[in-house]
Structure 1
Amino acid sequence: MNKRSFLKRLALTGIASTPAFQTISKTLQDYAKVTPATLASDEDFWAKIRSGYRLKSDYINLENGYYCFLPQEILEHYINHIREINYQGSWYFRTVQWDNKDKAAARLAGEFGGTPDEVAITRNATESLDIIISGYPWQRGDEAIFAHQDYGSIKNMFELAARRHGIVNKIVDVPMLPKSDEEIVKVYEDAITPRTKLIMVSHMINITGQILPVKKIADMAHAKGVEVMLDGAHCIAHFQFKIEDTSCDYYACSLHKWLSVPIGAGLLYVKKDKINKIWPLLAPYELDHANIKNLNHTGTHPVATDLAVNNALDFYQMIGGARKEERLRYLQRYWSDQVRDLPGIMVNTPAASTRACGIANVGIKGMDPGEMAKTLLEKYKIYTVGINYAGVVGCRITPNVYTSTQELDSFVKALKEMSKNA
């Protein structure tokens, strides 16, 4: 089989060729004139999307933030990719591997921002962020800024940079329920000194779901000569934006979360004029690429995941980014608005629609989050995760597009009973 025939064969096994995809596409055509905001509450429509997932009956899954498992369409194509690559063997790796990865990265850039020369497929957001932190041209005494609320292993990477290069890490606190964007911007601005080189900001704080005003932070930092790296682990395919519109210098995301790519795929964006200043984490086959390939060598890796990026993008584009965002925000507000003002319940996520989307965090006064999560699972058959970290005390709630309002009614009932508001 030659290269052209192989690529054609892969194209014919794409998600768009399947009966299930075509059925959902027909459904979407029927709803074409319905606005995303109106469609967000249409349970009949979302039940059709739900039918494309294989769901466990043991519990209601409200922990999609760690890993959004795949709809059956993507899963079956991923398995087919594994079979095909196993059949092709070394031929695949020595011929079309890199062409296919480049095409998938280009599609990600086209959908979410950046140019193909600025966007790479890594293994996850952690690797993407570590590439920047470990490869940054630090000098002893340089300063980095990040928040207590940021992801733990990334904070540890800054600690390793401090041990290795002698940099100074300055840690700030992001207000949980801010009154304005300016309140958040000022937190970072007040920490900047003439020695500050890099600020890391969570585009969406993973433990609460709060969306930060990252463009305002980046514009402020750039005016002071400071670069900005965004941890967007939960953002791509969750709510709509273009990476370049954030004004950041570096962006990272995990594609196995809200884009529903199989585990083993992340995204790294590096602004074109910043690429050559970062030392590669792993040496590429050819040194001194003029584009992001200089930072993207991973050795032999599970390349079926790269191919599945295309299937996940097909599925995402089929549903539509605006429809998905509105549905996720609707689901979060559906349950959180019912309990936000109840005695003994603490919603640890801002109410404003611009400050959150599908993720929120809720606690019960006097109850340890671990015990809360255990009670939800054992008594109410609802699976979530307890968070007791950086001043956030509660359970993170992450529904997905397959989640029904009936399931969230069960969750609200459980919260009311647990907090004695029933």
Structure 2
Amino acid sequence: MTVSRRDALWLAAGAAAVPAVARAAVPTGAIAPDDEAGWARIAALYPKMGPVTQLEHGYWGNMAAPVAEVHRANLDRLNRDSSVYARRAMRKDQAVVRDRAAQAMGVQPDEIGFCRNAAEGLQALISQFQGVADGESILWSDSDYDTSHNAMRALARNRRAQAITVPLPRAPTRDNVIAAYAEAIRNAPRLKFVLLTHGTHKSGMVVPVAEIAAIAKAAGAMVLVDCAQSFRQRPFVIPDFGADFVVLNFHKWVGAPVGVAGFWIRPGAAPMIAAAPAEPDAKPEDVQAKVHQGTLDYAPQLTLPAALDFQEQVLPVPMKLARLQYLRNRWVSQLRGLSGLEIMLGDDPRTFGAITSFRIAGHTSIADNIAITDTLFNRYNIMTVHRAGLTAGACVRVTPALFTTPAECDRLVAALKELVPQIARG
């Protein structure tokens, strides 16, 4: 695209409206997990939660003030300059965004594409997978995302393949989860495709996907990894998994605006995923063509570099993970062993991050767990969420954020110490 001198002057003027570095002052330097004064300085960069004790931060992440400032500037520019910017300059800015995202993921820019959320990317990569045929098999677990279950079942029907679901152990550990997958993979006839979830959204288990992917690849299968809940919550880059396809969210633990996610395809593997129906002329190796974007809210994508910069400069992943595990342990350690309460994960730090779920004995239906979350909210002013789909039954998920305080975790402890005996007695 050739840009005229007039356009260049106009674009330069417009660019001044989008701050390259947000003006809000941010603290820097290492903060210990239990340094409440240090984390209070971080909390000051986030919106106040109001009267609710918010322990359901697994849906999407709050933007820090410096990121929100860039987002507002991007929204203002898109609203003001509309197609003049979109058709004459935005592609160049999007290329910068793609380069920055690829750098954070540890891969090359031409290996990634963007989507609105991880579910959308997973649907495309699963439903458009070309590498399974009549009589072959595909495999996933009960801990994977619910809409991915549906996509895998649809793929099995459309390809006349055998669908295999692996129930993960009720008390999961690295060893017994690897063993469960290994046995299922060993017994799967002509296995061609395996879905793995790195950080599960149900129990909170961090699955050892690199080890399981190696087993699946040795059996001749291609591997798709869902990192929606783990990217930038745990330290890794995409090649660490040894997978063929990876999908992740930027609006959860990266703290970008809602509406931006990404996916990666291993070099050489793109032809195994058909292009989106709206992209009939796409080259087989065109990664972005697997998800047709159309016209969308471009502000979240354009804000992504600011979110990644904020995270890397202020909240390096090891420091972030240590804080989230500290807050998780704050409530888990006080409730471990409470009669009638099942904490669904152990205390091996390799197996959890922010998320851990619980069940109350004898109350494993979806209705039961919706009622528990309603009681926590209506009686105790604590926000949690129920999760369903596990073989052993539904549960309640607890997810602190970086700005959650120990006192808020203690409120959950006090509530459950009062509530669990009441519910367990029936």
Q: Normalized against structure 1, the TM-score is what?
A: 0.90
Matched, 1:101 2:94: yes
Deviation of 1:85 (Å): 1.3
- What SS does structure 2 have at the residue aligned with 1:403? coil
List aligned pairs for 1:247-396, cutoff 5 A. 247-284=242-279, 287-288=282-283, 290-319=285-314, 320-367=316-363, 368-390=368-390, 391-396=392-397
Deviates more, 1:412-421 or 1:336-345: 412-421
The amino acid across from 2:156 in the alignment is A
**CA distance in 1: counterparts of 2:189 and 2:15, whole angstroms:** 53
Counterpart selection for 1:205 from 200, 203, 207 = 200
**CA distance in 2: counterparts of 1:233 and 1:8, whole angstroms:** 37
Deviation of 1:12 (Å): 6.8
Deviation of 1:105 (Å): 2.2
**CA distance in 2: counterparts of 1:333 and 1:15, whole angstroms:** 37
Aligned twin of 2:3: none
**CA distance in 1: counterparts of 2:169 and 2:218, whole angstroms:** 23
Counterpart selection for 2:74 from 78, 81, 86 = 81
The amino acid across from 1:377 in the alignment is F
- What SS does structure 2 have at the residue aligned with 1:87? helix
CA contact (8 A) 1:145 1:188 kept: no
CA contact (8 A) 1:363 1:394 kept: yes
Unaligned ranges ≥5, structure 2: 1-5
Matched, 1:116 2:109: yes
**CA distance in 1: counterparts of 2:287 and 2:273, whole angstroms:** 10
Deviation of 1:119 (Å): 1.7
How many aligned residue pairs are there? 408
1:352-400 CA distance string (max 9 Å, x none): 1000011000223245322211111111111111234312443100111
Matched, 1:13 2:33: no
- What SS does structure 2 have at the residue aligned with 1:238? coil
Deviation of 1:203 (Å): 0.7
CA contact (8 A) 2:174 2:208 kept: no
The amino acid across from 2:417 in the alignment is K
Deviation of 1:127 (Å): 1.3
1:58-84 CA distance string (max 9 Å, x none): 311111111223223322321221110
1:149-172 CA distance string (max 9 Å, x none): 211111111122233222221111
The amino acid across from 1:325 in the alignment is L
**CA distance in 2: counterparts of 1:266 and 1:309, whole angstroms:** 10
1:280-336 CA distance string (max 9 Å, x none): 124448621644233243111111111111121122112222211111111111111
CA contact (8 A) 2:125 2:290 kept: no
Aligned twin of 1:126: 119
CA contact (8 A) 1:282 1:298 kept: no
- What SS does structure 2 have at the residue aligned with 1:82? helix
Shift in CA distance, 100/375, structure 1 to aligned 2, threshold 3 Å = same
Q: Normalized against structure 2, the TM-score is what?
A: 0.90
Aligned twin of 1:91: 84
**CA distance in 1: counterparts of 2:174 and 2:280, whole angstroms:** 48
- What SS does structure 2 have at the residue aligned with 1:190? helix
Shift in CA distance, 366/300, structure 1 to aligned 2, threshold 3 Å = same
Aligned twin of 1:419: 420
Shift in CA distance, 283/7, structure 1 to aligned 2, threshold 3 Å = farther
The amino acid across from 1:100 in the alignment is D
**CA distance in 1: counterparts of 2:17 and 2:319, whole angstroms:** 27
Matched, 1:164 2:158: yes
1:171-220 CA distance string (max 9 Å, x none): 11111323443x22232232333421100011111111100110100111
**CA distance in 1: counterparts of 2:415 and 2:9, whole angstroms:** 56
CA contact (8 A) 1:185 1:213 kept: yes
CA contact (8 A) 1:41 1:327 kept: yes
Deviates more, 1:126-135 or 1:157-166: 157-166
**CA distance in 1: counterparts of 2:44 and 2:283, whole angstroms:** 48
Deviation of 1:97 (Å): 2.6
Shift in CA distance, 372/180, structure 1 to aligned 2, threshold 3 Å = same
**CA distance in 2: counterparts of 1:15 and 1:407, whole angstroms:** 35
**CA distance in 2: counterparts of 1:151 and 1:179, whole angstroms:** 20
Matched, 1:48 2:41: yes
1:16-67 CA distance string (max 9 Å, x none): 240x2xx21xx31xxx3x4x6xx11101011111111112323111111112
Shift in CA distance, 90/286, structure 1 to aligned 2, threshold 3 Å = farther
Shift in CA distance, 246/66, structure 1 to aligned 2, threshold 3 Å = same
Question: Percent of pairs identical after alignment?
Answer: 27
CA contact (8 A) 2:174 2:207 kept: no
**CA distance in 1: counterparts of 2:16 and 2:352, whole angstroms:** 37
Aligned twin of 2:53: 60
- What SS does structure 2 have at the residue aligned with 1:373? helix
Unaligned ranges ≥5, structure 1: none
How much is the aligned-residue C-alpha RMSD, in angstroms? 2.2
Aligned twin of 1:175: 169
**CA distance in 2: counterparts of 1:285 and 1:317, whole angstroms:** 39
